[in-house]
Amino acid sequence: MQTLRIKPPSSGKHGRSGRDPGRNLFPLLAGAAFAVAVVGAILALSDADSPLRGPFTLFFLLAAPATAVGAALRGLEPWPRTVVSVAGAIATDLLIAQGMLAMHWWSVRLGIVAVTVISLLALLLAVVRRQLRAARNQA
């Protein structure tokens, strides 16, 4: 019979827990990115005259579809997943703009709404698919 021992946390260069302090920044950075994207969408929808409107709206137009594509590609490693997510976001934005121009429906507000709706639907699809897969694996 083998005895398992729990190793006490080491007191290395990262403090008592031995964990990297940079790993604790990810939720903070994700929250900040979400806030910047939401502010960008609000500034674009409200037609506000702000110098931050352009950069924040561009960030929203890249971040919203990239998040949805990234959620669907959870099996990939981080760097390929990031590259594919950004490429998918650019493709999504271009296809939405192309479709709106072809149907003569182009407007900034409608473009922001269309990107939001398509990104939310793709994100919802990825979450539902993950939930169904987890339920199937439990059964």
- The confidence score (pLDDT) of residue 27 equals 87
The overall pTM is greater than 0.75: yes
- The confidence score (pLDDT) of residue 4 equals 62
Among 116, 103, 118, CA closest to 57: 116
**Structure-token pair, residue 57:** 């709206």
Q: Taking residues 44-64, report their average pLDDT.
A: 94
Cβ atoms of residues 37 and 63 within 8 Å: yes
87 or 20: which carries more pLDDT confidence?
87
7 or 127: which carries more pLDDT confidence?
127
Confidence of residue 67 (pLDDT cuts 50, 70, 90): very high
123, containing H or E segment: helix 108-138
Confidence of residue 38 (pLDDT cuts 50, 70, 90): very high
- The confidence score (pLDDT) of residue 26 equals 82
